[in-house]
Structure 1
Amino acid sequence: MSAKGWILGIETSQPTGSVALGRVGGDQEVDFEPFPIGLVHGREILPRIDTLFSRHPGAREELALIAVSAGPGSFTGVRIGVAAAKAIAWACKVPSLSVSSLEIIADNAVGNGDWRVLLDVRRGRCATATFRIEGDDRQRLTDDAILSWDEMLGQVTSREQLIGSGCRTIPGVENHPRGDKSWDDPKAAAVVKIARRRLLLIETGAEEPPRGFTSPHDL
């Protein structure tokens, strides 16, 4: 895949949605369009994507990959993002891949160490996963899981720092170190950055192409 191509990132799994556009290769800055807070994802997503393309002439024709958040999060929000990703991937005949919302949030963290992402999914349960950050390297330590609050509290270690909206609301985590509140929201710019890393792994054979990569129908 040409390093001159573009990646479109879509994040609609949480209350604050966004879209982003960045080059496939290198560490170039990612252009970013946030949505207003609220239940506006369906209204905002396509106009915001058009705004991104209008700022980068030729990017629509050079689109190489669509990456979209796949939750956990709002069922309606995820459905809006995935539906848009499928439609654009089909129309532009480009690959697509899904990214965990927990991994997207973890990408916001600044500082080395183990970071546990927490999202409160109600009824005494949370979505969680742990990642290790060392400089620019991100390593997943655990799979995404839905746990009761008590199960999660039994797993949290003293070396873990917490990030995600759940670390502000779930009882029992108050004494654990937490990241800055501004890092709690997943952003489409991180979707693009994660997609860049995964695309390199796929193209070098280090990772198998995920579902949806060759057919958006499977997203």
Structure 2
Amino acid sequence: MKVLAIDTSSVVATCAVLDEEKLLGEYTLNQDMTHSERLIPMIKTLMDSLKLKPEDIDLFAGSVGPGSFTGLRIGLATIKGLAHVVDKSVIGISTLEALAFNVPFDGIVIPIMDARRDRVYTGIYRWENGKLLNIMEPTILNIDELLDIVDSKYEKVLFNGDGTLVFKDRIDEKLKDKALYAPISLNMAKASSIGELALLKWEEGSQENYFNLSPDYLRESQAQRQLNEKR
């Protein structure tokens, strides 16, 4: 069973193809280009390199957020369009769950994504017996509020995500040696993590219709907030 997975929730654009328990290929770029410019060429390059066509893919997967509003819309429109053309199922994966899945750490993993204004998108996850469990649902919090929760509940945690670059000094000041950090390569979205999670959820019976798959922003867009303020 082949899965095409993508993640465009941040400045990173990444796509991967998995076949059951094997990663066939992955393409990741972290540079200042728009996803509308690079995503389709990346997918085509990867698929051509693997000598695959869209009809060879059995399941399509994409990150549903949180993250960049524009990036998520572009990514999900792409994955839904491909699934629609070949009439295959899609599965949406939380960006935060995928980040936590990058790091099979024996303990608490806390992905943090910069949400501006001293806030982070975050969740709290724990690995148990080789399975990733969600123990705090994805949410948006002030970084100090998150650190208070962590300091009061946990002895050792591992952080990953782009928020670690923004808030590392404050994390260290508050948590000191309670805080560990993932390697640089595991701070970014990985389409392979999206794809593997999608396979696991498929095996559990999950699937979604490409008409209904939608982003999970966790907050209103800036344009919507400005409109509400005017009202």
Same fold at TM > 0.5: yes
Kept in 2: contact 1:6–1:59 (CA 8 A):
no
Q: Alpha-carbon deviation of 1:172?
A: 2.5
State how far apart, in whole Å, the 2-side matches of 1:139 and 1:103 are. 9
Alignment of 1:48-87 (within 5 A): 48-87=42-81
Partner of 1:46: 40
State the number of aligned residues: 205
Partner of 2:198: 195
Structure number with higher strand proportion: 2
Alignment of 1:10-159 (within 5 A): 10-23=6-19, 25=20, 27-134=21-128, 136-156=130-150, 157-159=154-156
Alignment of 1:138-217 (within 5 A): 138-156=132-150, 157-170=154-167, 171-174=169-172, 175=176, 176-202=179-205, 209=206, 213-217=208-212
State how far apart, in whole Å, the 1-side matches of 2:99 and 2:70 are. 19
Cα RMSD of the aligned pairs, angstroms, is: 1.8
Percent identity of paired positions between Structure 1 and Structure 2: 25
Residues 102, 30 of structure 1: alpha-carbon distance in 2 compared, 3 angstrom cutoff:
farther
Length-normalised TM-score, structure 1:
0.86
Which letter does structure 1 place at the counterpart of 2:159? L
State how far apart, in whole Å, the 1-side matches of 2:52 and 2:25 are. 15
What secondary structure does 1:22 align onto?
strand
State how far apart, in whole Å, the 1-side matches of 2:129 and 2:109 are. 13
Which letter does structure 1 place at the counterpart of 2:105? G
Q: Alpha-carbon deviation of 1:51?
A: 1.6
Q: Alpha-carbon deviation of 1:133?
A: 2.0
Unaligned runs of 5+ in 1: 203-208
Which letter does structure 2 place at the counterpart of 1:11? D
State how far apart, in whole Å, the 1-side matches of 2:188 and 2:127 are. 18
